[in-house]
Amino acid sequence: MTKIITYNINGLRAGIKKGFLDWLKDNNFDIICLQETKARQKQIPVQLLEDLGYHHYWHSAEKAGYSGVATLTKKQPDLVVEGCGIEKYDREGRILRLDFGDWSLLNCYFPSGSSGDERHAFKMDYLEDFQDWINELKKERPKLIVVGDYNIVHTELDIHNPDRKDKPSGYKPEERAWMTDWLGSGFVDAFRYKYPEEVIFSWWSFRARSRERNKGWRIDYQSVSENLKDKIIDSAYLNDVVHSDHCPQVLEMDL
């Protein structure tokens, strides 16, 4: 069994100060996909990761203290690819691909459109380009696991106040429609595959005691290509793990 974690850590240096490395030490995860690392490798005590048995791979943003993904794995991958080959996304450090045998793991941090119309347009461009890129990648690597912070609420089950009228970034109809199309293009949402009706969240605003009151959104996902769905053993959100405004999600697969 392989245990894969996806976790928007919202600043890895801050997460380490809040006990992230102790949490790793106390658990036996095979692979950890981190998003929003906000750090470069040289700023992290990587020897401590190596002491825990992890190889580590990084795709950081050009802009300091912004975005970035990192993947920690106990099994060495056959191939590591940074980015998707589209400069405007790759300079923000959003995609890291690791190949293991006949399957590939993509650690992804989708853009947020919450800062205004320009970034929302950027996000929608990213979604379209990402789908096109994945469609091409599937021809070469058909067995895919695509994990990360998608920054999209898919269904009304995935937000604490589904009737809100303002439709903020992350809950706009066009984003949710993209998510439906994404899952219709040959992927399953691993958590929904196992728990089609359960209400659980993965992100909470820092405002108004949102996490304490469980007023959250589910925007972190583990998408598994249809040809691997029978390998899914379980999927869960670890709501009691608190190093970030997100919580980790664990995927257990027979790989």
Look up the pTM and report it.
0.98
Over residues 145-173, the mean pLDDT reads: 97
User: Rounded to an integer, what distance in angstroms lies between the CA atom of residue 35 and that of residue 129?
Assistant: 20
CATH number for position 64: 3.60.10.10
Q: What is the pLDDT of residue 80?
A: 98
**pLDDT confidence tier of residue 44, bands split at 50, 70 and 90:** very high
77-117 tens-digit pLDDT = 999 999 999 999 999 999 999 999 999 999 999 999 999 99
**pLDDT confidence tier of residue 217, bands split at 50, 70 and 90:** very high
What is the number of other CB atoms lying within 10 angstroms of the CB of residue 122? 18
E-strand ranges in 195-248 read: 203-204, 216-217, 220-225, 232-237
Structure tokens at 22: 């102790």
202: which DSSP letter?
S
Q: Is 149 an active-site residue?
A: yes
Catalytic residue among 78, 90, 102, 149: 149
**pLDDT confidence tier of residue 180, bands split at 50, 70 and 90:** very high
Q: What is the pLDDT of residue 66?
A: 97
Which range marks the domain in which residue 227 is found? Answer: 2-253
Backbone conformation region of residue 57, classed left if phi is above 0, alpha if psi is from -120 to 50, else beta = beta
Q: What is the pLDDT of residue 168?
A: 95
What is the number of domains present in the chain? 1
Q: What is the pLDDT of residue 51?
A: 97
